[in-house]
Amino acid sequence: GAGVSQTPSNKVTEKGKYVELRCDPISGHTALYWYRQSLGQGPEFLIYFQGTGAADDSGLPNDRFFAVRPEGSVSTLKIQRTERGDSAVYLCASSPHVGLRTFNEQFFGPGTRLTVL
Amino acid sequence: AQSVTQLDSHVSVSEGTPVLLRCNYSSSYSPSLFWYVQHPNKGLQLLLKYTSAATLVKGINGFEAEFKKSETSFHLTKPSAHMSDAAEYFCVVSEGYQLIWGAGTKLIIKP
C-alpha cells in the first residue's frame, strides 16, 4: 500500500518568503508528526497531531512556524518570513494511534528538502 | 530528561565483517528503544524495537540489538556486513509518542 508522501521533494526559496510543505499520511493513521532534520543531526520533533488537533506543538521553534491538519488526514507545515537557518529536511511521519505510555511505530515520508537562500 | 548518545559518528567496516554501532541512553523510565535506518534520499525505516520484552531484539536484514540496563546501552550488531547496509543509523528512545533521536552513525562498507 501507499506510504507517507511529502510534497514537494525539494523547495528553494528566498529569505523572507512564505512556504508550505505538505504531508499525506498513510490512510487510516490518526497520529501525524512533523520533524526537522539538519545536516549531520537526528530528526528534531516539531509537532504532533492526534486527529485534527495539535496535541503537542512544543517543538515549533517560534511563531513563524505553524501546522494544520483540518480534516484529520493531510497536514501542511507553514513557515512565514523564512530565514537561512530554516534550511533543513522536513520529515513527516504517521502512526495508527498512540497512547501516552505505548509506542506505535512511526512511518516516515521521504522528506522535503528546504533551502532558503 | 531522556537523551541518546551515539558514540561514533562514522563506522567503516569491510564487506563480510561484523558491524557494531554503539548507543547509550538515559531515561528516568523503563525506556522503549529503537534503531532506525536512513538510506540516501530515502525515508527513515524502523530496523528494530525494544519494548521491555526480550532483551535481545532481532530486526530486519539480519540486524539485532541487546538492551543492557546496567550499562544503559542498546548497541546494534550484524554478523556480516553487506554493501546494501551502507546508510545512516539512528538510535531512538521514546516515551509515548515523543521520539528522542541520537545524532546518527554513518555506516560505510568497504568492498
C-alpha A96/C-alpha A103 separation (Å) is: 10
pLDDT at residue A103, as a whole number: 64
- For residue A21, what is its C-alpha cell? 510543505
Contacts of B102 in chain A (CB under 8 A): 42
Cross-strand partners of B37: B45, B89
pLDDT at residue B79, as a whole number: 97
For the cut 60, the answer to whether the pLDDT of residue A1 exceeds it is no
* 3-state SS assignment for residue B83: helix
Dihedral pair phi/psi, residue B83, rounded to 5°: -55, -35
Q: How far is CA B83 from CA A87, A117, B10, B14, in A?
A: 31, 36, 16, 9
Instruction: Mark out chain B residues that contact chain A at CB-CB < 8 A.
Output: 4, 9, 32, 36, 41-46, 49, 51, 90, 92, 94-99, 101-104
C-alpha B60/C-alpha A79 separation (Å) is: 37
Interval A64-81: pLDDT, tens: 999 999 999 999 999 999
Interval B36-85: pLDDT, tens: 999 987 788 999 999 877 889 999 999 999 999 899 999 999 999 999 99
